[in-house]
Amino acid sequence: MPEFNDPVSVVCFGDSLTWGFNPVDRTRYGPHLRWTRLLQKELGESFYIIEEGLNGRTTVFEDPVRGDKNGLAHLATIRKTHMPIDILIIMLGTNDLQSRFQMSAETIGAAMSRLLDYSGRDTDDPEGRAPKTLLVCPPPLGVFAETPFEDFFLGDDRHDQARKLPEVYQRIARLYGAEFFDAGSVVSVSKVDAIHLDPEMQPPLARAIAERVRQMVAS
């Protein structure tokens, strides 16, 4: 943890759920609505929250259509950009479930293990100490019929794999010494697009993650 009363540095590393994607008009929620900014409000000035959300980001998979979505490839730069990082929050996996990738929950878990392995290691930089990591499983997918993302998540097996993901992530987190939180225990996705969060889902997610962060700092 930081010295000389510096705030605790917390990086929120994720996809459009972290970026703040509005399912109604596909714009970005304002700072007063995003869970990441509400997290800052919950934790106060003794914490410094850094937003690193990218629409479409995956754990390790290259997107052949949109490109530049590989989370593992981004993480090294992000760690160096924001070092020293005290706590790293990773919430990824929704985009890995897309039909184009055809990944099982176990495969997504194996991919996530590569991020946890890297985040748990010191780098050779002066401020490159390994942060504590909180792995957050995104909420399960909703019903895609007649939604904008229907063609991205074809087949009932996508929902089956999404339902398996919390158990897989919890096991992977334990293996790599990371903390775990299931976002689906406090929020659900919007009926508008079956992936993203409505405004009323932002505060409960912020409060729940804030509680986990406080516990991590105290431990």
- φ, ψ (nearest 5 deg) of residue 100: -65, -25
Give the sign of the dihedral formed by CA 73, CA 92, CA 94, CA 47: negative
Structure tokens belonging to residue 135 = 């792995």
Q: How far is CA 6 from CA 2, 24, 105, in A?
A: 6, 39, 39
Q: How far is CA 168 from CA 70, 113, 211, in A?
A: 20, 10, 22
* Buried/exposed code over 71-103 (b: 16+ C-beta within 10 A; e: otherwise): bbebbeebbeebbbbbbbbbbbbbbbbbeebeb
pLDDT of 3 over the 70 cut: no
> Tell me: the pLDDT tens digits for 77-106?
999 999 999 999 999 999 999 999 999 999
**Average pLDDT along the chain:** 95
- φ, ψ (nearest 5 deg) of residue 12: -100, 105
- Give the model's pLDDT for residue 18: 99
Q: First-to-last CA distance in the chain?
A: 11
Distance (Å, whole) CA 2 – CA 160: 42
Average pLDDT (130-154) is 94
Question: What is the value of pTM for the model shown?
Answer: 0.96
pLDDT of 65 over the 90 cut: no
Contact 176, 5 (CB under 8 A): no
- Give the model's pLDDT for residue 160: 94
Contact 124, 89 (CB under 8 A): no
**Amino acid, res. 87:** I
Distance (Å, whole) CA 217 – CA 132: 9
pLDDT of 128 over the 80 cut: yes
Nearest to 59 by CA among 133, 123, 109, 17: 109
Distance (Å, whole) CA 71 – CA 57: 6
Q: Set out the domains of the chain in order of their start, with CATH numbers.
A: 8-218 (3.40.50.1110)
- Give the model's pLDDT for residue 76: 93
